[in-house]
Chain A
């Protein structure tokens, strides 16, 4: 079993098998999203409090979930790279960051757009979840800025890993302190975005979208990591042999 793990850590092996796994994730992911979007938009019954606007949940919740999952992946991969010195782990962390930032942006944008008809404002400072999401975006920017500022890849990897690990603890604390702050300053009632217990017809498309988006994220992450690996290994012999080999792939 460890052999598989060690093999996975080998860059040329990963480079070869990543596209296969990526496709395995991509197609079911797309199918799940297709179902989730269609039934979420047209089949799920209307929410009696929010009308059809609640359908934004089918995009907002998956993005928010992914924004946090990507950060966890970044931190865990960084930790693995730091402790076991696995180069591949660092490549995964580097690739997860921009993807996570994109989904954080999507969560913030959809949350803001959702807030407009609901609360009459484009941004509600008192909403703890949106505030936590915003601060998460800052964490992402700091991480990517640190990576960009250090020229030496190995050094950047380790520094970024330390930052991500420190950040993980703080993200949790930020969430709770923002919640407390929001409870102090809540002027108006913040409508719970998911409403009372969701009936299955509303819930299944949401679950489908969460899974579907996650699979899509996984597919993107695998391919991005693959390119990152190729770039980092560009001066090695296996890359040279692969490029010069007659089958000419991409």
Chain B
């Protein structure tokens, strides 16, 4: 398709858009992963303290 080829510059243009998507997705994933990791870690510690109390 002509639009995919981007007048010969396709590789450059699509790489850039792909990079942008990757950066956004990676950061989205990292934010979520860190939130659940931190939450779980605190949860485990607090529940353990409750148990021994």
| Chain A residues packing against B (C-beta within 8 Å) | 37, 41-42, 46, 51-53, 55-56, 58-60, 63, 99, 102-103, 105-106, 109-110, 113-114, 116-117, 216, 220, 223-224, 226-227, 230-231, 234, 239-240, 243-244, 250
Contact = CB atoms under 8 A, between A and B. Distances in A.
A234 B37 CA distance: 13
A116 B13 CA distance: 11
Contacts, number: 93
A52 B32 CA distance: 36
Main secondary structure of the interface of B (DSSP, over half): helix
B11 to A, nearest CB: 9
Contact of A250 (B16, B27, B39, B50): B39
Interface of B: 3, 6-10, 12-13, 15-17, 19-20, 23-24, 26-28, 31-32, 34-36, 38-39, 42-43, 45-47, 50
B38 A220 contact: no
A117 B30 CA distance: 33
B23 A227 contact: no
A227 B35 CA distance: 5
Contact of B31 (A114, A223, A240): A223
B34 A234 contact: no
Contacts of A116: 12
A147 B9 CA distance: 41
Across the A-B interface, give the 3 residue pairs with the lowest CB-CB distance, nearest first.
Answer: A52-B6, A52-B7, A53-B9
